[in-house]
Chain A
Amino acid sequence: MKLQQANSYFNTVNLDGWDGAAWVSGVAAGNLLSFDRFITERTFGQKKRMFEMGGTTTIPDAYKVVRLPTGTKYIVEAVNPDIRNDVVYGRTYLLRECESEAQIIQFVKATSASGIGGDPTPTTLATVFCDVERITSENSSEFREVRFSSHVVTLPEDTVVNTDYQLLIDGFYYEIMEANKNLLTMSVRAVKLGAAA
C-alpha cells in the first residue's frame, strides 16, 4: 500500500525499550511530534509527545516504557491505528514523560501466635518508572486542620498495585487511594504521606 510506504518514510527516530531490567536498543522507529492539539488535557505539551509509526510496525507490547536517543523516558499511554480503506497504514502512539521512579511497597507482617501479624515491615515489590502530578489538596475527614496533597501517579500498564500498597517516590511515601487501568497505563490516585525515615 503506497500510503504505508509514504508514511514509513518518516520513521526516523529510534526508540529504546525498557524490558523491566535493562534498556533494549532500537525496538521501534517512527516520527516524533509535539502534542499540542487538546487544550482540555491537564497534561499536554510539556510532558506528552505523539509518535507516529508508518506501515505495519508497532512498539512491541513487551515495552511499556521507551526512551528517546536524547535519554528522555516515556510511558506508552495509548495507541490508535490510522486506517484507510479498512487497511491500517500507520499507528499513532501517545507518550507521557516519566522522569521519576516509584518503588511499590507492600507491608509484610511476620505471623504471630495470635494468627495476626505483628509490626509491618515495608518491602519493595518492584521499582517502575512513573509520572507524578499533583491535582489538589484535600481536607482530612478526621482533623479539620489537616490537609493532604492528592496526586495522580501514572505507572506502566503491567504494574501490579492495590490499595494496601504504598508508593515510595523521591523519598516520600504515597498512600494509594484508587488504582485503575486507563488506556495503556495504570493510573493511581495517591495521597502524599511524608518523607521516608
Chain B
Amino acid sequence: MSEFIKPVKSTIDKLGYDIGTNYAGGPVDVVDMNSDINVDELLASPDPAILWEMTTCSPAPKAPMWDVAFMIGAKTKKGAGYVRMSLLEAVTEVVKPDQVIPVHDYTGAVAGPQVGFLTVTMVDLDPEQGGRFEGVRLVAVRCKGLSW
C-alpha cells in the first residue's frame, strides 16, 4: 500500500512545482503545504505562489485501485483577485477532468519508473480562504488511481 502513496505524493509535488515554475507570467513561488519546513516565509510573503496539499490516498475498495484527493491553487497578496484567477487558470489547464497523470516516484535525484496512474474525476473551485490563508484559493481535485 505504502509503495503507491509516496509516488503519488511526489507526483503531486512535481505537478505543482511544474505549474509554478512554468507559469506563463514568469516563475512563481511554490509551497508544499504538507511540509511545515521553509513555508512560513513564503506564506507570509505577498509574492504570488502555487500551493498544494495531498489530502487523501486510500485503496478503493482495495489496492491496486485507489481514491486520491488533493488541493492545489494559488496565493497572491490581498486584493490581487485577477492575478489569482490567472494562476488558477494555469492550474486548471493542467488538472482537468479525464486528465491522466502518470505516477512516478520523484523522491530521488532522478525520476523512478512509472508505478501507476491517476485519472482526474472531479475539479472543483473552492471558496476563498480567510485568516492566515487570506489571498489563497484552492481547487479540490479527486482522482481514481491504479497501481501496478
Tell me, yes or no, whether A binds B: yes
Which residues on A are within 8 Å of B, measured CB to CB?
107, 109-110, 112-116, 118, 120, 162-164
How many residues belonging to B are interface residues under a CB distance threshold of 8 Å? 25
Contact B41 A114 (CB under 8 A): no
Asked if B80 is at the interface of the complex by the 8 Å CB criterion, the answer is: no
Given known pairs A114-B13, A114-B14, A115-B30, the reply for A109 and B38 (CB within 8 Å) is yes
Which residues on B are within 8 Å of A, measured CB to CB?
10-11, 13-14, 16-18, 21, 30, 32, 35, 37-41, 44, 104, 106-112
In the complex, A115 Cα to B38 Cα: how many Å? 14
Checking B13, B35, B41, B44 against A115 with a beta-carbon cut-off of 8 angstroms, the contacting residue is B13
With both beta carbons as reference points, the residue of chain B lying nearest to A166 in the complex is identified as B37
Contact B17 A113 (CB under 8 A): no
Q: How far is the CB of B124 from chain A (nearest CB, A)?
A: 24
22 pairs across A/B with beta carbons < 8 Å? A110-B109, A112-B107, A112-B108, A112-B109, A113-B108, A113-B111, A114-B13, A115-B14, A115-B18, A116-B13, A116-B14, A116-B17, A116-B32, A116-B35, A120-B38, A162-B40, A162-B41, A163-B41, A164-B37, A164-B38, A164-B39, A164-B40
List chain A residues, Cβ under 8 A from B108. 112-113
Contact A113 B106 (CB under 8 A): yes
Contact A163 B18 (CB under 8 A): no
List chain A residues, Cβ under 8 A from B106. 112-115
With both beta carbons as reference points, the residue of chain A lying nearest to B107 in the complex is identified as A112
Contact B38 A116 (CB under 8 A): no
List chain B residues, Cβ under 8 A from A162. 40-41
Given known pairs A118-B107, A163-B44, the reply for A112 and B10 (CB within 8 Å) is yes
In the complex, A110 Cα to B108 Cα: how many Å? 9
Contact A163 B107 (CB under 8 A): no
List chain A residues, Cβ under 8 A from B39. 164
List chain A residues, Cβ under 8 A from B111. 113
Contact B110 A113 (CB under 8 A): yes
Given known pairs A112-B10, A114-B13, the reply for A163 and B32 (CB within 8 Å) is no
Chain B CB count within 10 A is highest, among A109, A113, A120, A163, for A113
8 smallest beta-carbon distances between A and B, as pairs? A115-B17, A114-B106, A114-B13, A113-B106, A163-B40, A114-B14, A116-B13, A113-B111
List chain A residues, Cβ under 8 A from B41. 162-164
List chain B residues, Cβ under 8 A from A115. 13-14, 17-18, 21, 30, 106
In the complex, A52 Cα to B112 Cα: how many Å? 67
In the complex, A107 Cα to B39 Cα: how many Å? 11
In the complex, A114 Cα to B110 Cα: how many Å? 9
